[in-house]
Amino acid sequence: MPDPRIEITVGDITAVAVDAIVNAANSSLLGGGGVDGAIHRRGGPAILQECERLRRSHYGKGLPTGAAVITTAGNLPARHVIHTVGPVWSGGTNREPELLANCYRNSLRVAVEHGLKSIAFPGISTGIYRYPKEQAARLAVETVGAFLAEHPELERVVFVCYDQESHAIYQRLLHQRGAADAGARRS
């Protein structure tokens, strides 16, 4: 049985009511296309203002790939946005799996450090950064599952899929992980 704290849905991450949504940001933190642009547009100017302040105070050269920072969520139903920069896929030979795992791990770490109980993730790097959906989802499920095993204080993790194809991939991978965990417990 999959971890009951993990949910999968198809929809718009900017409409999810959780403590924090994760933004698949670009390193500038100043908005862009895809999820990043949607979060900045719907969240309003407060997000951009905090991102600009972060740029001036800590990330003048941009947020490093795999790192994560937190801001307000402005007008969104979430309370916070955790911004992380995913790797651009270039065949898997430039540390892409390690960097993508860091996106999930560091976002979860920031959530725990701020006492948050719920977080929602998009498919980080699977859009314009071209990370293969299956590989990205497998890494997300494994990384989040391992983190949750050590952090019972996190009550809810939502994978918000852009399309039915991604939803089916996550669903299959979560069921496989649940079956493997159940088998390991019986051994």
Q: Which of 3, 12, 19, 36 is catalytic?
A: 36
Which distant-in-sequence residues (6+ apart) come within 8 Å of 65 by Cβ? 27, 85, 86, 87, 99, 102, 103
Is 14:76 a contact under the CB 8 Å cutoff?
Answer: yes
CA-nearest of 92, 94, 124 to 106 is 124
Angle between helices 34-43 and 45-57 (to 10 degrees): 110
- Strands (E) across 11-79 are located at 20-25, 68-72
CA-nearest of 113, 28, 169, 117 to 37 is 28
Q: Is 12 a catalytic residue?
A: no
Distance CA 160, CA 21 (A): 10
| Residues carrying an active site annotation | 36
